[in-house]
């Protein structure tokens, strides 16, 4: 079972000190620029920048290794499928020998396909890395205030914070419920797929009903703490954009429009192999 918390990186770094709004903009860049380019080099460069940021922000190599290692089967699959079948494929790297029945001589691995597959991988990895990067280096209260400052309604931002707070709680509920099922003699791990479905369903029912009963309690607690959902409140962690934030934001904006213009006008970042 993975850690139930978002690991907080408390060691300060240049990145972690950036204004939340700048970090959110970087997140926006990471999830849009990947569509602009089709070049593996551009995509790889962007991933390396994200990786560099992550390492500079003291995100443990262990965390990154786990992200990458867990995804290896998927990554191999992507490479293989694109290597074999992508319509870009021209130069043959290897072929299935003639003597193999059915596939012999018909299936080949193409260089361009592999390159395309590689580009796809970076496209997926970059935003997957940047989201935890931003969240792990930011205090939840700061993140909430940052969202409010970019006009996300306070109530929605608050849902993020309080939702996060209760993830470990829901986890322990799930484990007590599955435990209760085993204690009734039900061995889910031994059941076939079809039998497993109703058991899965009966796990979720007490989980959700129980959580809704608890939600009433939460509602009462929130009201007792004078919560009204209004953004008209004090934020003890108020912050302002500093020079470095404006600088980072400006370069981000330049990068964003620059990338689109150069792609459209000069065809930079087109597919290469």
Partner 1 sequence: MSKQILSIEDLSYRYPKTAEFSLHDVSLRISEGEFVAVMGSTGAGKTTLCLALNGIVPHFYGGDFFGSVRVGAMDTVDHPTHELARQVGMVFQDIDMQLTAPTVASEVAFPLENLCFPVDEINRRVSAALEALRLKGLEEKHPHQLSGGQKQRLAIAAALAIRPTLLVLDEPTSQLDPVGAEEVFRVTRRLNQDHGITVIMVSHASEELAEYADRIVLLSRGRLEADKPPSDFFQDIDFLLEHGVRPPAVTAAFSCAFRGSSFPGRYPVTLAEALEQRASVLSKLEAGSTSASIADGPVHSDEIVIRTRDLHFSYEDGTEALRGLSVDIRRGDYVAIVGQNGAGKSTLIRHFVGLLNPSSGAVEVFDRNTQDYDVSTIAQRVGYVSQNPDNQIFTDSVRSEVGYALLRLGMPKDQVAARVEQSLEELDLGDVAGMHPVTLSKADRSRVVIAAILAMKPEILIFDEPTTGQDYQGSKAILELTRELWRAGKTIIVVTHHLYLLPGFAERLLVMGKGRLLSDSNLRSGLYATATLEETYLNPPQLVRFVESFGDEALEKSQPLTPDELALTMAAD
Partner 2 sequence: MSTVQRGTRRQITGGGGAKIGGAPISYVAVFTAIVAALAFIPASIVIGSAGGGWPLHDAIHPLVGLVLGPIAGPIASIVGILIGNAIAPYTSLGPWSFVMGGMSAFAVAMVTQKNRSAWLLPWVIVAALHVVYYFQATNFGISPGMWFSNAFAVTLGLILIAIPTVRKFYTTHLRDQSLGWRLGVALYIPFFFGSVAGMQALWVPSFATNPWPAEVWPVLVPIILLERTIFPLIGTLIALGVIAGLRRSSIAKPDMASY
User: Which residues ranging from 212 to 241 are in contact with partner 2 (CB under 8 A)?
Assistant: 212-216, 218-219, 222-223, 227-230
> Which residues inside 59-118 make contact with partner 1, applying CB under 8 A?
none
| Element holding 65 (H helix, E strand) | helix 61-70
Contact with partner 1 (CB under 8 A) among 206, 256, 260, 273: 206
Cβ–Cβ < 8 Å for 64, 86: no
Neighbouring residues of 229: CB distance < 8 A, sequence distance ≥ 6: 154, 155, 158
Whole-angstrom distance, CA of residue 99 vs CA of residue 82? 24
Instruction: Choose one: 46-54, 161-169, 247-255, 257-265; the region binding partner 2 (CB under 8 A).
Output: 161-169
Instruction: Choose one: 29-37, 179-187, 245-253, 261-269; the region binding partner 2 (CB under 8 A).
Output: 29-37
> Which residues inside 226-255 make contact with partner 1, applying CB under 8 A?
226-228, 232-236, 238
> Which residues inside 4-63 make contact with partner 1, applying CB under 8 A?
4-5, 10
Three-class HEC string of 98-143: CCCCCCCCCCEEEHHHHHHHHHHHHHHHHHHHHHHHHHHCCCHHHH
> Which residues inside 120-149 make contact with partner 1, applying CB under 8 A?
140-141
Cβ–Cβ < 8 Å for 188, 178: yes
Whole-angstrom distance, CA of residue 144 vs CA of residue 154? 8
Minimum distance, C-beta of residue 133 to partner 2, in the bound complex (Å): 9
* Chain residues that interact with partner 1, rule: CB under 8 A: 4-5, 10, 140-141, 161-162, 164-165, 168-169, 173, 176-177, 179-187, 190, 195, 199, 202-203, 205-206, 209-210, 213-214, 217-228, 232-236, 238
């Amino acid at each position: 079972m993975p850690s139930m918390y978002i690991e907080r990186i408390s060691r300060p770094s240049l990145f972690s000190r950036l204004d939340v709004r700048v970090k959110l903009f970087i997140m926006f860049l990471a999830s849009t620029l990947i569509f602009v380019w089709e070049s593996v080099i551009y995509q790889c460069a962007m991933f390396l920048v994200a990786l560099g940021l992550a390492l500079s922000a003291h995100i443990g190599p262990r965390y990154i290794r786990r992200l990458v290692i867990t995804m290896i089967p998927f990554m191999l699959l992507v490479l293989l499928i694109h290597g074999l079948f992508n319509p870009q494929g021209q130069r043959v790297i290897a072929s299935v020998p003639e003597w193999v029945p059915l596939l012999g001589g018909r299936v080949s691995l193409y260089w361009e396909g592999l390159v395309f597959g590689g580009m796809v991988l970076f496209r997926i990895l970059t935003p997957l890395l940047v989201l935890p990067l931003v969240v792990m280096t930011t205090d939840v209260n700061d993140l909430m205030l940052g969202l409010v400052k970019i006009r996300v309604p306070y109530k929605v931002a608050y849902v993020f914070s309080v939702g996060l707070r209760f993830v470990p709680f829901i986890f322990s509920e799930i484990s007590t419920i599955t435990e209760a099922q085993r204690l009734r003699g039900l061995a889910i791990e031994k059941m076939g797929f079809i039998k497993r479905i109703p058991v899965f369903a009966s796990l979720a029912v007490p989980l959700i009903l129980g959580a809704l009963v608890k939600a009433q309690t939460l509602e009462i607690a929130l009201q007792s703490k004078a919560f009204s959902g209004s953004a008209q409140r004090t934020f003890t962690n108020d912050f302002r954009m500093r020079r470095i934030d404006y600088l980072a934001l400006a370069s981000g904006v330049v990068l964003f429009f620059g990338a689109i213009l150069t792609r459209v006008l000069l065809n930079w970042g087109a597919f290469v192999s």
